[in-house]
Every structure is written in structure tokens, then in C-alpha cells.
Amino acid sequence: MHDESTFRSMIAQDLEDAVMAGIQYAKTLGAYGAEAYLSVSRSRRAKSQNGTLEDLTRSKRGGLGVRVLRQGTNGICVGSATTSDITRRDVTELFRQAWELSALGDEDPWIRQASPEGTDDLPSRFDARAEALTPKDRINRALMLEESARNASSKICAVRNSTWADGSGASLLLTDKGVRTPNIASTCSASIELAAEWNNDRQAAYHWDIGRHPESVDIESIGREAAKKAETKLNPQQLPAGKYAVVLHPEVTVDLLGIITSMLSAESVLRGRSLFADKLGQIIASPSLTLTDDGQMPDGLGSEPWDGEGIPTKRNILIQDGILVTYLHNLRTAAEMDTTATANASRSTTGNPGITTFNLFPKVGSKTPETIIAQLQNGVMITEIMGLHTINPVSGDMSVGASGIRIRNGSLEESVDRMTFAGNLRDLMLNIVEVGSDLRWYGSSAGLTILLEEMTLGGG
């Protein structure tokens, strides 16, 4: 694999050997299957506040989770055990605990295990430049971030925290079926939370960015964007209740698509917690919306060669031209719904595999945000939404708070806040008129400007 020596500095060969011995031990107990997931991470952080260093930390964390499968009369019973002690080189007792617990579990006829498949042919996700940073480098980056925000606006009155963080992590899934999925990655990030003040009004703002190595994080841009956000929010006006053309900022689009995607999880569908149950092949959104998850993007921050069950990741189109193409599946949900897994299993050291996305993004449109806004006479750009988690996942009913910028005669004007953004998620998706060309990545999810049909907004 890529970066074998660095991987071994985090997950040693003798630890892997000990885990494999534990898996074989579980088989001698009568286990139908046995699996182990190792995860180790190293992190460093520097945080400043109003020009003063507040925090400088480094930490290392690790864990081992094992899962033992016992064949029952009508299905598989699962037992799990975990430990944070990765220095131990005899893990047979952990597998014994899991084996004993499996006798107490409910039988599940849909439990499946993957066979070995695929290779790690993605570009390396690890960059040594993150490891090479010194404590002084990290402090300087945190202070530079604060300085960039203050230089961008004279209205910045306080910086609550300016943080630089970097780290690396390694993981390894091993199973009795021969699956072995070593993975290692590095990340660097910077974030700032600040306040601006003008005419007796104070407003807070937050911005961040993340990348694989120090040079991929633009500190100056983060500071400027945070300052711009805070300035734009100053002295907000109350929006008269009425109908307005609505423009969603890319950051809002990311949050909204995240909520939609959670309802496209087969787990949510099977639990009766999805607006989109029984909607495969049907129109659920405007033809302007195509939504894709891709675990194989060469430069994607969420890219991984395998999912949490050892299946090679792939590109999955979830919504194509408004039509629901697939749900997100792991092996278990695919078996229950009699379909093929989409290689979207998530894994941790505790519990059973879940469902996740890797690199989630909408298809770009042809118009710039400036062009979209210029065509509107009376509208609102929504830059923040509060309470998206309160959307009813079954009915789609929503009533959330929002703030943004008034649009008049094709121009962004004054700040508006304390708006009520209410309706139904299904209607919102069908009412997408245009999507912008301004795809912006926020970690492993991307958003863009979206124009909605005229809708009712309530004032504060």
C-alpha cells in the first residue's frame, strides 16, 4: 500500500498479527464469522483568542472493535466488544467476550460479509507535510488566521477562537473471509469564529476549510470570508412576510443536501423514517438536480479505496435529473431489500456497520451566482438556516429559522434575519429552478447556488 512505513508506525505488524490470531481463535469457538476494526489517530492543534495563544495540544487515540457472528436457526446473532488499549498483544479475551455476547443477540437473517476484492489504486491520502509542522508553525498559522480576518475588516471587534489543526489517521479492517483494508490519511484544517460591530450591533460569524496538507488550506481566504460574513450580517432588517424568489447559498445547499441524503439511506427507509420510501424510479426533485456520491475521486477528501465492510468504493448517482436512482446500501440493507450493495458502509470500533457518504456533490449548472441574482427583482439569498434537524423525515414538513440578504432589482442589498422558512421538503426539491456553476467543497461535501421558485417567507 501507499505509505507503508507511516501506516506501520500507527498500526504495528505485531498488533495486526495478534488481531488475526484473535479472529482464528473465534473460529475455534464455533463462530460463523469474525471481524476486527483497528483505528488510530494523531492530532495537533493550536488555538488563539484575540491575539493570544490559548491552547496548544497533541494527542493520540486508538481503538479496536471486534465483531463475532454466531449461526442461529433463522439467522445470524452478533456479539461485539471493544477496547481503547491498542498496546495489548493478546486479544483473544476480547473475541471471547464478543462470542459470549453473540449468544444473547437476536437472530438477523440479513447479516452478510464481504469477500476480498479490489486494490488500493487511489492516490495517496497521506501527506508528510502535515507531520513536518512544528508547534511554532501551528501557532503562527492560528495567529495569521486571526490577523487576516482583522485586516479584512475594521469592524472585527473580537475573535473568539482562531484554530489550526492537523493530524493523521490509520485504519484496518480484517475478517475471517480474508478481507484486509489498510488505509491512512492526513488532514489539515483552519477555522475562525469572530464578531463584528457597527452602529451598536454585533454579529458573529464562522468559517473554515480543510485539506490534505498545509498548503491546501488558504488561511487568508478563510479570514476574509469570515470577516465578510460578519460584516454582511450587521444591522439586519426585518423582512416583511410575503412571497419571494429564494436563492440558497452553497453553504446552505450543503446542509440541505446532507439532510436529503440521510433520508436516502436504506437504513432510514427500512425503519420507516424516510420521505423517499418506495420512491425508486420516481421523480422526487426538479430535473435540475443530479446528486452523486463518489468514493473514488482522486482528490476527494472523503475518498477511500474500500467501504467499512471491505467492498471497493464506487461512484453512485443517487438522484439523476430529479429521478431517484438508488438508496445508499451496506451489505445488510442490500440483502433485506434484495439489491446490490452500493459500497457505502461506515465502520467504527463499536457496533455494526452503518451507512455513510464519501464525496457528495450536485451536478453544476451553467449560470454564475451573479447571473442568477441579476435576474431577480424581489428575492432573498438565504445564507444560514437554523434547525434543519427538525425536518420531519417521514412527511418532509419543515419550519426552520433563516437569515440572509435581501435582493432588489438584481442586487444584494441589506441583511435580513429572524425569517421563518417553512413548507415541505418535497415541494422545495421540486421547486428548484436553477443550479449555479459555483461548486464549492466543504470538506467531503459540495454545494452550489440554488434558485427556488417564489415561496412564502415569514418575518421575525
C-alpha cell belonging to residue 50: 484575540
Does the pTM surpass 0.85? The reply is yes
| Nearest 10 degrees: Cα torsion 341, 346, 348, 350 | -60
What integer pLDDT is reported at residue 437 of this predicted model? 98
- What is the Cα–Cα distance from 203 to 437, expressed in whole angstroms? 30
Nearest to 159 by CA among 49, 45, 46, 47: 49
Nearest to 80 by CA among 63, 50, 60, 100: 100
Phi, psi angles (nearest 5°) of residue 72: -105, -170
Q: What is the mean pLDDT of each run of 10 residues along the chain (460 residues)?
A: 87 97 98 98 97 95 97 97 93 98 96 97 95 96 98 97 97 98 97 97 97 97 98 94 96 97 98 97 98 97 98 98 98 98 97 96 97 96 94 95 96 94 93 97 97 86
- What is the Cα–Cα distance from 383 to 101, expressed in whole angstroms? 49
Nearest to 129 by CA among 6, 46, 215, 10: 215
- What is the Cα–Cα distance from 424 to 418, expressed in whole angstroms? 19
CATH 3.30.2290.10 fits 4-226, yes or no: yes
What integer pLDDT is reported at residue 1 of this predicted model? 58
Domain ranges of the chain: 4-226, 236-460
Strands lying side by side in the sheet with 315-320: 323-324, 315-320, 291-294, 360-362, 445-447, 440-442
